[in-house]
Amino acid sequence: MEFDRIKEPAIAPKRRIKDYKEFTVAPKIKNLKQGARCRDCGYFVIGDAH
């Protein structure tokens, strides 16, 4: 599967300093298919050097 990278929308710093909520907007369900880009290679344990 090939999908283009989607940039996450972010909340402006001046707006987000008023609370401790997430500073990126959660993706829509249809955009979750972008996760297939990472799973496509089959290398599930990234950084495990044992």
Q: Could you give phi then psi for residue 14, rounded to 5 degrees?
A: -65, -30
Q: How many structural domains is the chain composed of?
A: 1
Q: What is the pLDDT of residue 1?
A: 56
Q: What is the pLDDT along the chain (50 residues), one digit of tens a residue?
A: 566 777 777 778 888 787 777 767 777 776 666 666 666 566 555 555 55
Task: State the CB neighbour count (10 A cutoff) for residue 37.
Answer: 14
Q: What is the pLDDT of residue 35?
A: 64
Buried b (16+ CB within 10 A) or exposed e, 4-35: eeeeeeeeeeeeeeeeeeeeeeeeeeeeeeee
Q: Which domain holds residue 16?
A: 1-50
- pTM exceeds 0.75 for this model: no
